């Protein structure tokens, strides 16, 4: 997962609105969004290689999503899968956000760089193992890519602006939200960060929606939670190897 935009208590009917693009190598095996057979209360896609996930929710109202923190100059040797942080939190119905925070404080440095959004559909927290401030996420519109929460990368600024505009509307449609982060236009090279990959790679990764031949945006997920506790989860696959649109609705 490489770009997440979410709004907390910013719409009169929807306390939570989240839109996310998952960027991944196209040949990495992936299971589309589904209720997991080994944990039927968990809804989300699944990494076919390590068994974790980039984004998921539970029937009990838990939510978690992760992005990589991109810095090619600092890599951990033989790290565990970051997607397991999300999967383990969602699978363990007894694990609270405080429990996960304690685990992250103790073991976070064992992983390659990551940003984790976790908690419940009513209260989200943020943790990074790369030096940023962690804690509860304040109400408002936020965005997260491969640096810190709300960092001033062009794609993050654009994602926040687009979602801010949408949540000012009375109604929210899944189709409109699915298209929110669909822009493949790269940003001006002068505005891009230096994460150690070189200018050409930085430009390839700069759009909201990445269209590389070997690496790109594989799926888009929309999550909305209304004031009555109805959670709608929509996933749209974009790659020929991925499933088409899937819609789910649960009460949390």
**DSSP states along 66-128:** EEE---TT---SSPPPTHHHHHHHHH-TT--HHHHHHHHHHHGGGSSSEEEEEEETTEEEEEE
Q: Which domain holds residue 17?
A: 3-251
CATH number of the domain to which 204 belongs:
3.60.60.10
pTM for the full predicted model: 0.96
Q: Residue 1: which pLDDT band, with cuts at 50, 70 and 90?
A: low
In whole angstroms, how far apart are CA 3 and each of 54, 147, 180, 211? 11, 10, 11, 14
Q: Domain total for the chain?
A: 1
109: Cα separation from own chain's centroid: 20
Q: What is the mean pLDDT of the chain?
A: 95
pLDDT in tens, 132-184: 778 999 999 999 999 999 999 999 999 999 999 999 988 899 999 999 999 99
């Amino acid at each position: 997962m490489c770009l997440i935009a979410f709004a907390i208590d910013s719409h009169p009917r929807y306390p939570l609105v989240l839109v996310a693009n998952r960027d991944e190598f196209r040949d990495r095996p992936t299971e589309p969004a589904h209720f997991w057979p080994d944990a039927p209360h968990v809804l989300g896609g699944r990494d076919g290689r390590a068994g974790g996930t980039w984004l998921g929710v539970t029937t009990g109202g838990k939510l978690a999503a992760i992005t990589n923190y991109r810095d090619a100059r600092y890599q951990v040797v033989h790290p565990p899968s970051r997607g397991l942080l999300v999967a383990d939190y969602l699978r363990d119905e007894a694990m609270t956000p405080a429990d996960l925070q304690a685990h992250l404080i103790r073991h976070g440095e064992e992983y390659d760089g990551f940003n984790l959004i976790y908690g419940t559909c009513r209260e989200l927290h943020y943790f990074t193992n790369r030096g940023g401030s962690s804690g509860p996420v304040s109400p408002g519109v936020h965005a997260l890519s491969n640096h810190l929460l709300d960092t001033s990368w062009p794609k993050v600024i654009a994602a926040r602006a687009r979602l801010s505009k949408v949540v000012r509307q009375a109604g929210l449609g899944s189709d409109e939200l699915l298209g929110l982060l669909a822009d493949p236009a790269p940003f001006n090279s002068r505005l891009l960060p230096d994460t150690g990959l070189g200018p050409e790679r930085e430009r390839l990764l700069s759009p909201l929606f990445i269209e590389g031949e070997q690496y790109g945006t594989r799926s888009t997920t929309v999550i909305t939670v209304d004031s009555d506790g109805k959670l709608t989860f929509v996933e749209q696959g974009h790659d020929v190897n991925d499933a088409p649109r899937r819609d789910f609705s649960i009460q949390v």
